[in-house]
Amino acid sequence: MNTKEIIKKTDKYLLGTYKRFPVVFEKGRGSWLTDSDGNKYLDYVGGIAVNSLGHGNTGIKKAVQTQSAKFSHISNLYYYESTAELAELVVKNTFPSRVFFCNSGAEANEGAIKFARKYSYSKFGKGRNLILSLNGSFHGRLYGSLAATGQKALREGFGPFPGGFKHIPPNDEAALEKALSEKVCAIIAEPILAEGGVIPLRKDYAKKLRELCNKNDVLLIMDEVQTGLGRTGDLFGYVGLGIKPDIVSMAKPLGGGLPLGAVQVSSSVAKHISAGDHGSTFGGNPVSCAAGVSAFNQVLEIIKSGRAEEVSGYLEKKLVEIVDASSKVTDLSGRGFIWGLKYNGDPAGVIKKCMDEGLLIYKAGKDIVRILPPLNTTRSEINKACSILKKVL
Ligand SMILES: *Cc1c(COP(=O)(O)O)cnc(C)c1O
């Protein structure tokens, strides 16, 4: 199929849930993508924070080849190596806990919601099932995760939604204290509200959140679907906030580019979950987990070697220069490898112009230009991206 045919058939046969940029990509290598006309683009979208190691990663490719030559799927009726290995990596590098594997971020949050409610039910009985979440948050497109999502517009026309969710403004201690009734079993929050506009939780707010959760035996769920696995420069976003959650949902980069999600629950929550409580046919797919093991080890190495800190520090410095130089950019937010430039205007034009110049970036919220480079991007790629950004902005 040629470029025109691919676009035409996609628009004709796929359900119109996505507004796509009119480009067909043919291959990727590292931080770069090549389109069907041979044009190269520096990919600072990374499949929406999925490709933390760029494209065509050798380790991931080998892991996928090796596992798929053995088998691609056998279900969770039996044991196999790659889930055990990936779960061990997650637990040993974080806190005493257990892992449940699923396939996506929304699914991970559905699991987190179920496990939190089950914990409360088995400890306190019926009626203690309310989950607090933050205005502007994004937790996914399924019914539970969409009910938790703090963006009303995304629910328009799809009701009724499951009950038991209440939204409060982020970084507001007073609102938090007021909302904490004896009905509340959990609070779900992103360390940085990513889709909502790259809005970090304040450290003192996070500390208060943890304190209040401890005091009331309310579970703290961190949605690390976008911020987890190195995106913030730390292994997880909560590390930078100086707190430890009870439940962590993860997905986007977890499978090294293959679909994979996970819910991690602390040992004390895990005690209340038993066989039959939850499940997923594809959850913890052997090939996805094998890719995930390779990706996890590589990300760990980038963090432990100090490379993540060094490269993201350089990126931050270059972005600060852009903010200083442009009268249209009013603020910079984020950490590590997730950044938002607040743009005085519609970011869609900026994104389009950057694309014409060979740089892929994306938006967040309504006026934020979001940058999500791979963790193994180089200084020269950062220079290239920032010179394009500077020119466009
Ligand atoms: C992307 C995202 C989700 C949803 O993940 P899907 O894999 O698209 O279901 C949930 N939470 C956060 C924070 C996300 O960024």
CA distance 139 to 240: 20
pLDDT tens digits for range 283-322: 999 999 999 999 999 999 999 999 999 999 999 999 999 9
Work out which ligand 1 atom sits closest to the CA atom of 140: 4
Predicted confidence at residue 242, as pLDDT, reads 98
Q: What percent of the chain has pLDDT over 70?
A: 100
Mean pLDDT in the chain?
98
pLDDT tens digits for range 339-392: 999 999 989 999 999 999 999 999 999 999 999 999 999 999 999 999 999 999
Of 205, 204, 219, nearest to 170 by C-alpha is 205
Residue with the nearest Cα to atom 6 of ligand 1? 105
Q: Report residue 158's pLDDT band, with 50, 70 and 90 as the boundaries.
A: very high
Predicted confidence at residue 102, as pLDDT, reads 98
At 43 the three-state DSSP class reads strand
Predicted confidence at residue 317, as pLDDT, reads 98
Q: Verify whether ligand 1 is closer than 6 Å to residue 226 (CB atom).
A: yes
Segment 216-235 shows an average pLDDT of 98
CA distance 221 to 187: 6
Predicted confidence at residue 338, as pLDDT, reads 98
Segment 141-155 shows an average pLDDT of 98
Rounded to 5 degrees, what angle do the CA atoms 344, 349, 353 make? 120
CA distance 145 to 139: 5
Q: Residue 159, Cβ neighbours under 10 Å: how many?
A: 8
Q: Verify whether ligand 1 is closer than 6 Å to residue 139 (CB atom).
A: yes
Cross-strand pairs, 186? 131, 219
Residue with the nearest Cα to atom 11 of ligand 1? 139
Q: Report residue 214's pLDDT band, with 50, 70 and 90 as the boundaries.
A: very high
Predicted confidence at residue 167, as pLDDT, reads 98
Work out which ligand 1 atom sits closest to the CA atom of 195: 15
Q: Verify whether ligand 1 is closer than 6 Å to residue 232 (CB atom).
A: no
Q: Verify whether ligand 1 is closer than 6 Å to residue 140 (CB atom).
A: yes
Predicted confidence at residue 300, as pLDDT, reads 98
Rounded to 5 degrees, what angle do the CA atoms 154, 283, 18 make? 30
Q: Report residue 247's pLDDT band, with 50, 70 and 90 as the boundaries.
A: very high
Predicted confidence at residue 344, as pLDDT, reads 95
Of 133, 115, 145, nearest to 225 by C-alpha is 145
pLDDT tens digits for range 77-91: 999 999 999 999 999
Predicted confidence at residue 30, as pLDDT, reads 98
